[in-house]
Amino acid sequence: MYQKVFNYKPKENDYRIWMVVDPAVWLIPILLAVLLTALAVHATVFGSAKYNFMNMVEEEVVAAPAVEAAPAPEAPAAEAAAPAAAAE
């Protein structure tokens, strides 16, 4: 497709980029720029409430009501008096 429209042959012309960009000089700055871009994107996404999955887990744990122990059932008065009468 590119050969017909632009008369571009990648195998013959792609080496020319290295005549302009010297990888020994520019590789580390390019990688640092990519790293800073990735960190900025992640900070932005995790900063929003919609996409921050780590904050959702904390909110669910905090929002869950604490489970309280049920009170022990009280014995009826007749049953409580019966053991005392049997002991006499």
pLDDT in tens, 75-87: 676 665 666 556 6
Q: What tokens does 28 get?
A: 């580390």
Looking up tokens 């999955």 gives 53
> What are the C-alpha distances in Å from 85 to residues 44, 65, 66, 73, 76?
75, 44, 42, 22, 15
Q: List pLDDT tens digits, range 37-85.
A: 999 999 998 888 888 777 765 555 555 566 777 777 786 766 656 665 5
Instruction: Count the domains in the chain.
Output: 1
The range of the structural domain enclosing residue 52 comes to 2-65
Look up residue 71 and give its two tokens. Answer: 């009170």
**What CA–CA distance (Å, rounded) separates 79 from 84?**
9
Look up the CATH number of the domain holding residue 56.
4.10.220.20
pLDDT band at 36 (very low <50, low <70, confident <90, very high): very high
Q: Flag whether 10 is in a domain.
A: yes
Is residue 75 a part of any domain in this protein? no
Report if residue 23 sits inside a domain.
yes
Residue 80 lies in a domain: no
Confidence band of 28 (pLDDT split at 50, 70, 90)? very high
CA 84 from centroid of its chain's CA atoms: 63
Assess if residue 86 is contained within a domain: no
Q: Please indicate, yes or no, if residue 12 is contained in any of the structural domains.
A: yes
